[in-house]
Every structure is written in structure tokens, then in C-alpha cells.
Copies of this chain bind each other. A is one copy, B any other.
């Protein structure tokens, strides 16, 4: 009898264990993660349920953390400031694999085929490339400028054809690395592009790479559809200017919104967005805003751009009409609005309000608040639909 009871116990245990092992079956198209910087954790969210569905801890230093997704939208790759690269299973709410690949990192990217993950390093500099499945290293590409010295790298993005593109901060260069067949990179270098490129990004079509300069005013532009590649200076007045205005936060290039024929980019040190013609990359207008813009995030489709601001005016969001270049709605979600992320077809927008420990969800058409979620000092919000975008 004892024996049978043992068998029964085992069988019952197996049966009981099944639901725990079998994580709820669900689609992954409406999942996302919210960075909780102070606690080194990420919250996993479901945008349809407007709810958190899990949390993953022990991810290290998540200041300036960024996230990309596997093409199947099951896994998130979290790039920490401390060089940590964590692969998270969103369905299991668990770390699949975690490595510390450098001493100080500043973001990463995933190749268009989803096979390669690249990380941009301040320390030791350069870019390291990993197999997206295993996180084993595929390539280590030091950023040695023409002067032979190692450089920090910034503005790393994926571009079509198993390629990545980034700028060398110290050396003032822009590199394109490609992996046409396997692990050996092909490297194309543009040298002498300007002083101290501090960030960069590619337009959503993967065509135009833009890098901002910290060492002088101006922006560097590379048209990836022209051969040979060349770096061209545009927007000669873009920067801190002669007056050396106080800059509370250098705006990230992720905050450059492309809407229709315009780009709306944060001015530096001023309460303005600058409207840029996407053909000629010339300034065509300015939008007066509430504060110094940090992110200018376009609603999918391009009708509006939502803008948040640097400290101390970071309790407010402006919504700008991209046809009239006027602010059509201004409101105060709460203290320390750090990031905004739209659902893929733009019907709702999620807003992290760090010092209220909340993520708020707004109807993007009516501007009505629809829900809010508790989160620990939330900063970046990243939805899995990014997996479908060039330069995600």
C-alpha cells in the first residue's frame, strides 16, 4: 500500500507540475518590457490586457538600458550599462542566458535575420557580436581609429543585409560592419567625419544614418543607398551653439521622429523641436515646446508627435500636430515622465512616470487615460513590435 501511495504521489506530483511547467500559451505580439532601473529588474507587460504579467530581477545596472527583440518576439535582449547582456524569455518570465560582455556598454542591436546581436561598448570600446541563440561570441571588433587608438562606440543600429552601423566617439569615424556569410565581418570605414559623434540613428527605412556631434555643431549624414558611401555634413547650426546654452540632457537620437516628409528633432538647450525636410535635410520650421525636448516619438502613421522634456520640466507631455507644427494638447502625467511607447498601429501610448512609480496608458486619439500599472521607478518601455522594424 505504501508503495502504491508513493506511485500515486509521484503521479499526482507530475500532474500538478504540468501547469507550472506549461507556461500559459499566448501570442507574443502584444508583449513588452518596462525597465525598472533602480531595482535592476524589468516588468513584462501585455498591451491588450493593459497589465503586467511578470517581472525578471537581477539584471544589473539598467541605467540607459535598451532592449531589442528576437524576430519571433519571444525573447528580449536587454543591454545594461554595466556591459551585461541578458536574454529574457517573455513567455516564461525568466532569464534564458546572461553574460557580462564588457565593462561599460551603451546599447545594442539585432541583425535583420535575427541571428546576430551586437553590443556597443564604452569600455573596452569597440563592438562585440554574439550568436542570438546562445550568446556565444561571434566577433570582437575593436574600434581602432586611423590614429591607432581604441575608441568608444555609439549610435549602433541594424541595417539591412546582416549589417550594423555605428560611430567611433573618440576617433570621429562611422563604420559599417556586415556578415554576408558567417562570422567574418566585412568592415567599411568613413573617417574624418567630425569631432566626437555622441549618438546616431538610422531612419525607419534603413536608408539615412545620422550622427550628432558633441565636439562641434552639426550633424553627419550617410545615405546608405548611394555608392560609395560618404559622410556629408548637414544642419550646421545643430548643437549647443555660440551661446553654449545650458543643456540639461543631450537628446538621444532615438527621439528623432520621422513623420511624412518631415523629421522633428529636439533642439539642444532650447524649448523647441526643429522640423527638417527629409529630402534635403534642411531646417524648414520650429515648434515652440514646453521645455527642452528629450524624446519626440511619432504616433505610428505620423499624424502626431508626442514630446517629453528634460528636468526640471519633465512632468509634462506636448502633442504636436505634424501638419500645422502646433502643440494641440499639453498635459501633466506626473513627476519624471521618462519615456513613451506606442502600440504598433498607434491606438494607445504607454508613458513611464518614474517618480509616481506608474506606467500610464492613454488613448492616442482622444488623449483620455485608460489605465495605469504599478512599476518600480519605470524608465524605458519597449514593445515586441520593435522586432518588425529596421533600426529597431
The chain A residues found within 8 Å of chain B, CB to CB, are 1, 4, 7-8, 11-12, 14-15, 18-19, 21-23, 25-30, 46-48, 69-75, 90-91, 112-114, 158, 160-162, 180, 205-207, 225, 260-261, 279, 300-303, 323, 343-348, 365-366, 384-385, 387-390, 392
**A347 x B161 contact (CB < 8 A):** yes
**A301 x B27 contact (CB < 8 A):** no
State in angstroms the CA–CA spacing of A7 and B9 once bound together. Answer: 11
A344 proximity list for chain B (CB < 8 A): 71, 387-389
State in angstroms the CA–CA spacing of A299 and B208 once bound together. Answer: 16
State in angstroms the CA–CA spacing of A158 and B207 once bound together. Answer: 28
Q: Is the interface of A mostly helix, strand, loop or mixed?
A: loop
CB A327 to nearest CB in B, in angstroms, measures: 17
A46 proximity list for chain B (CB < 8 A): 72
**A73 x B73 contact (CB < 8 A):** yes
- Given A18-B15, A301-B390, A385-B388 in contact, is the A112-B29 Cβ separation under 8 Å? no
**B160 x A303 contact (CB < 8 A):** yes
State in angstroms the CA–CA spacing of A389 and B301 once bound together. Answer: 9
Residue of B nearest to A18 (CB): B18
Which of B161, B207, B366, B387 contacts A365, CB < 8 Å?
B161
Q: List 19 A-B contacts (CB under 8 A).
A: A4-B4, A8-B11, A14-B15, A15-B15, A27-B28, A27-B72, A27-B75, A28-B29, A29-B387, A46-B72, A48-B72, A112-B347, A160-B301, A160-B347, A205-B260, A205-B301, A207-B260, A207-B302, A345-B389
CB A324 to nearest CB in B, in angstroms, measures: 10
State in angstroms the CA–CA spacing of A392 and B347 once bound together. Answer: 14
A1 proximity list for chain B (CB < 8 A): 4
Residue of B nearest to A322 (CB): B225
